[in-house]
Amino acid sequence: MQDYISHAENIWTFLGPDHTVEKSDFMLVLGSSDLSVANYASEYWFENLAGYIVVSGGFGKLTKEMWAVSEARKFSQILIANGVPEEKIILEEKATNTGDNIVNTKRVITDLGLPAHSGILITKPYMKRRAFNTAAKQWKEVAWSVAAEAVSFGDYFRKQDDPKNFISIMVGDLQRIKVYAEYGFQVRDEVPQDVWRSFEALVRSGYDRYVIE
């Protein structure tokens, strides 16, 4: 088991690089099953780094089984409960994947005529690289940065109800860094050999639920 943990932590570190975040026109909060993202976004709002918030997310592969409301609506309820002004929150409730988050949000903001020269993506710690790579490709006119809860792999791992599924999601996300760049969905990003070896080891060990054939 310890070998699997080491490989998973190796992938976690690659998927969650640090970003310098500066004041931007808006925050884009990416929906998921992880409600800690909404709580983190609430705290981040009060840093006064953005003029408004878009919360994007319909029903994903996990949340369609969990909630009766969209990810965006679920997250917005938390934001409002934590004191974020409701009038500063815009919902995008159709997205089912990261590409949708970006493309649909672009459409919503353009229709509303709001400023969008710079944006801060708020997501899960291990989604930072994939979120940035997607946004940089799908909405290249925006200067993007990414922020996520500062938490160690060990602490995040211990919070998981289904650790194998969590690792499997990271394995799938890492593969998409490569594959989606080839499809033109994300900017190209070099995956280090040691990180890819960790991917291969975990796939061989059965952490392949979200691997693309």
pLDDT tens digits along 184-210? 999 999 999 999 999 999 999 999 999
Element (DSSP H or E) covering residue 143: strand 143-147
Angle at 72 between CA 66 and CA 78, to 5 degrees: 85
Given a cut of 80, whether residue 67 has pLDDT beyond it is no
Domains of the chain, first to last: 2-13+153-204 (no CATH), 18-147 (3.40.50.620)
**pTM over the 0.85 mark:** yes
The pLDDT of residue 63? 65
Given a cut of 80, whether residue 64 has pLDDT beyond it is no
Half-sphere exposure of residue 41, counting CA atoms within 13 Å on the CB side?
36
Q: Average model confidence (pLDDT) for the chain?
A: 94
Q: Once rounded to an integer, what is the mean pLDDT over residues 62-74?
A: 81
pLDDT tens digits along 119-146? 999 999 999 999 999 999 999 999 999 9
Given a cut of 60, whether residue 2 has pLDDT beyond it is no
